[in-house]
């Protein structure tokens, strides 16, 4: 078992423990509707994690030769988890910014957005293959991926991420959580894209410029 597989198993096991722990107390303390929403979110999120980590992700077989992440992954993850934590607490207990008047429709929209994001990210992960890295990094023999879902848009993974980021506070019916996403996570994602494109221009120069000329960043608008 390689280190990545061990990390995946640890994350999944930890997530299962949290799922059981939260589920136990949610069942005892929350109204049935709130309990069902939380359990459905955990089930969907866990299923996506299992499928993406075991079937879509491909472990690299070469070494990273350059890395210029500039803490973009840290900023992105931290801002999202703050939004996730606040949204869940707001939904389950605080109710400071809960959109009760829009339920269950706002929750349904959230789940729909999350489910739409899954095949987008799946196709992107499968196509980019062994070149995927959570950081902004370059592998030995790295080639620019411009086919499949990457033929029209340069950042399909980030498009999928954006949809899932927005989906979470909607699932938990929290306009406060959505505000955190819009004010913190979205700017972090924009910063990440800018850093990555500068990095790719540095290493692929004219090839990436031509690719940029015939594609959009995230929305597939025909040029």
**pLDDT (0 to 100) of residue 2:** 57
pLDDT tens for the chain, 223 residues: list them: 556 566 667 767 776 776 677 677 777 888 899 989 988 998 898 888 878 877 777 778 888 999 999 999 999 999 999 999 899 889 988 889 999 999 999 999 999 999 999 999 999 999 998 898 888 999 998 999 999 999 999 999 999 999 999 999 999 999 999 999 999 999 999 999 999 999 999 999 999 999 999 999 998 875 5
**pLDDT (0 to 100) of residue 191:** 97
Residue 189 belongs to domain spanning: 62-213
Q: Is 116 part of any domain?
A: yes
**pLDDT (0 to 100) of residue 93:** 85
Q: Is 37 part of any domain?
A: no
DSSP-assigned states of every residue in 110-161 = HHHHHHHHHHHHHHHHHHHGGG--SSSEEETT-----SGGGGTBS-HHHHHH
Q: Report the distance separating Cα 105 and Cα 97, nearest Å.
A: 16
CATH number of the domain residue 69 falls in:
1.20.120.1630
Domain count along the chain: 1
The DSSP output letter for 96 is S
Q: Is 108 part of any domain?
A: yes
Q: Is 19 part of any domain?
A: no
The set of residues, in sequence order, having a beta carbon less than 8 Å from that of 143 and lying 6+ positions away, is 131
Q: Is 8 part of any domain?
A: no
Q: Is 14 part of any domain?
A: no
Length of the chain: 223
Q: Is 94 part of any domain?
A: yes
Closest CA to 207 of 157, 145, 115: 145
The set of residues, in sequence order, having a beta carbon less than 8 Å from that of 182 and lying 6+ positions away, is none
């Amino acid at each position: 078992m390689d280190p990545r597989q061990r990390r995946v198993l640890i994350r999944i096991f930890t997530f299962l423990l949290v799922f059981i722990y939260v589920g136990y107390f949610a069942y005892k303390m929350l109204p049935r509707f709130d309990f069902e929403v939380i359990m459905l979110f955990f089930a969907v999120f866990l299923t996506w994690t299992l499928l993406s980590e075991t079937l879509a992700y491909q472990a690299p077989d070469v070494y990273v030769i350059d890395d210029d992440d500039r803490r973009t992954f840290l900023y992105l993850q931290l801002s999202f988890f703050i939004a996730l934590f606040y949204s869940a607490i707001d939904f389950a207990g605080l109710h400071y910014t809960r959109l009760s008047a829009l339920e269950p429709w706002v929750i349904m929209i959230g789940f729909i957005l999350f489910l739409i994001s899954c095949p987008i990210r799946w196709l992107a992960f499968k196509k980019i293959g062994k070149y995927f890295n959570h950081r902004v990094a370059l592998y030995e023999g790295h080639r620019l991926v411009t086919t499949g879902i990457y033929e029209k848009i340069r950042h399909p993974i980030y498009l999928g991420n954006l949809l899932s980021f927005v989906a979470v506070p909607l699932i938990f019916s929290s306009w406060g959580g959505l505000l955190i996403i819009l004010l913190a996570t979205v700017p972090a994602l924009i910063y990440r894209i800018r850093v990555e494109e500068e990095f790719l221009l540095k290493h692929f120069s004219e090839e990436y410029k031509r690719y940029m000329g015939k594609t959009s960043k995230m929305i597939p608008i025909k040029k």
